[in-house]
Amino acid sequence: MSGVTHNTFVIEREYPKGPKAVFAAFSDPAKKKKWYASGAGSDPVSYECDFRVGGREVMARRMKPGTPIAGAVLTWAQTFDVIVENDRIVFSQTLDRDGARISVALVTIELEASGPGCRLTLTHQAAFFEGADGPRMREAGWGVLLDGIGAALD
């Protein structure tokens, strides 16, 4: 047995602002930090974002007491592979727990005008390894993150 779980999920969200505003919530590091690099169950360790093709975004957070992995440091690192302004973002992402790789994913964000707003479609394709949070928790986590984008829309 290999200890690898493969999974793909798709999440859609509708936002009241158009693709330009939603794209800015991903491309502007100050805006993205508001919805992506904060969380009630963990404390920030570091965050940096170089939003360009080939650029990297790295976030580390220490889990708070009372969480299932209290004290653990989770580090998300992604490389932006494709960026089409106001339309599409594709990035490869790794997640490490205390320095051990627990998953690798390919994430595609698609933005489409929907009336005066925007329909966002996130497709997450991943391999989860030993010690990973697993597909259900990852999908739930992305759902919470995408719900928080509204705070970063102009």
pLDDT over 60 (residue 1)? no
Residues 12, 16, 20, 21, CA torsion sign: negative
The structural domains of the chain, with segments of one domain joined by +, span 5-37+81-152
The CATH number of domain 5-37+81-152 is 3.30.530.20: yes
**Structure-token pair, residue 9:** 């999920």
pLDDT attached to residue 8: 98
Q: Dihedral sign for Cα 31, 34, 35, 37, please.
A: positive
Q: Looking at the predicted structure, is the pLDDT value of residue 38 above 60? A: yes
Question: How do residues 46-69 score in pLDDT, each as one tens digit?
Answer: 999 999 999 999 999 999 999 889
Does residue 151 register a pLDDT over 80? no
Q: How far apart are CA 51 and CA 57, in angstroms?
A: 7
What is the Cα–Cα distance from 29 to 37, expressed in whole angstroms? 10
pLDDT in tens, 92-120: 999 999 999 999 999 999 999 999 999 99
Q: And the tokens for 122?
A: 């996130």
Percent of the chain at pLDDT above 70?
A: 99
Contact 153, 34 (CB under 8 A): no
